[in-house]
């Protein structure tokens, strides 16, 4: 398996502009909203909410803002919002999955289709590319001065991890559910390790390379998709290059 594909995104979190950070907070806030809607506001009893809060903190979202989102969505009806997933191909045959959370399906569908069409992609039917990805719980651990590879590997094995990668960061794969991810995070944090990111992710089975022109076009499509507040995540199987 190739190295963890989102590591470059993790490295750049603290360098985001205020505008970019505000958009990220909006998207992560919607994930918290979904979790509260599905499982209630009790963090201890709602593993999905616990994972969403952990993600928010990884992006340095203030606790006051997190608590405000939880309180607001505990008191109001958010049933008008639905989760929506779109699948298709970008330029060069790159498989793309777009995860959304919206209160206006027509608006979101239109925005996603426009981004695909404008930059040489094609929107397909449900399931057309998702089979190219494996759902896994993913926990990324920082390799700082206190990190010990052998001890981290032993801990992962004891926690019934599926697989590990010891590269620029230490990545642990587990079952694709919030409970398994949260248990793994708790174990590593209790042992003194620093968690860079965690969540349930779609991991590409294979990666595709593009030439410079195609890559530029594909990245423009990603930027256009991420302009929408309705878009929570865009998953793809383009092989990342240094600096992206």
Structural domains for the chain: 15-75 (1.10.10.200), 82-130+206-236 (3.30.70.980), 133-203 (3.30.70.980)
Mean pLDDT of the chain: 88
Contact 88, 129 (CB under 8 A): yes
Q: What is the pLDDT of residues 40-56, one digit of tens each?
A: 889 889 998 999 999 89
- What distances in angstroms separate CA 77 from CA 32, 80, 105, 130, 167, one per listed residue? 14, 8, 18, 31, 45
Contact 221, 91 (CB under 8 A): yes
- Calculate mean pLDDT across residues 99-116: 95
Q: What is the pLDDT of residues 144-167, one digit of tens each?
A: 998 999 999 999 999 999 999 999
Structure confidence at residue 1 as a pLDDT band (50, 70, 90): very low
Check whether 193 has a pLDDT greater than 90: yes
Contact 83, 101 (CB under 8 A): yes
pTM beyond 0.75: yes
Written in H, E and C, the secondary structure of 152-208 is HHHHHHHCCCCEEEECCCEEEEECCCHHHHHHHHHHHHHCCCCEEEEEEEEEECCCE
Q: How far is CA 56 from the centre of its chain?
A: 11
Q: Please report where in the chains the tokens 């759902």 appear, as a residue.
A: 135
Higher pLDDT, 93 or 23: 93
């Amino acid at each position: 398996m190739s190295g963890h594909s989102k590591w470059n995104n993790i490295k750049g979190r603290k360098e985001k502009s205020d505008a970019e950070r505000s958009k990220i907070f909006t998207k992560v806030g919607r994930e918290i909203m979904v979790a509260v809607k599905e499982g209630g506001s009790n963090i201890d009893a709602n593993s999905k909410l616990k994972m969403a809060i952990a993600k928010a903190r990884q992006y340095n979202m203030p606790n006051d803002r997190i608590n405000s989102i939880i309180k607001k969505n505990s008191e109001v009806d958010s049933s008008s919002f639905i989760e929506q997933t779109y699948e298709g191909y970008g330029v060069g045959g790159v498989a793309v999955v777009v995860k959304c959370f919206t209160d206006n399906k027509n608006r979101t569908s239109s925005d996603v289709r426009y981004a695909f069409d404008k930059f040489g992609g094609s929107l397909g039917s449900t399931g057309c590319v998702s089979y190219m990805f494996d759902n896994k719980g993913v926990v990324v651990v920082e390799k700082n001065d206190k990190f010990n590879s052998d001890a981290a590997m032993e801990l992962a094995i004891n926690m019934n991890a599926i697989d590990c990668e010891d590269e620029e960061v230490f990545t642990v794969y587990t079952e694709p559910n919030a409970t398994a991810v949260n248990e793994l995070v708790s174990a590593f944090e209790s042992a003194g390790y620093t968690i860079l990111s965690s969540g349930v992710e779609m991991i590409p089975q294979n990666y595709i390379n593009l030439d410079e022109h195609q890559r530029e076009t594909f990245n423009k499509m990603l930027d256009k998709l991420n302009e929408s507040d309705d878009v929570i995540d865009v998953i793809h199987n383009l092989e990342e290059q240094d600096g992206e």
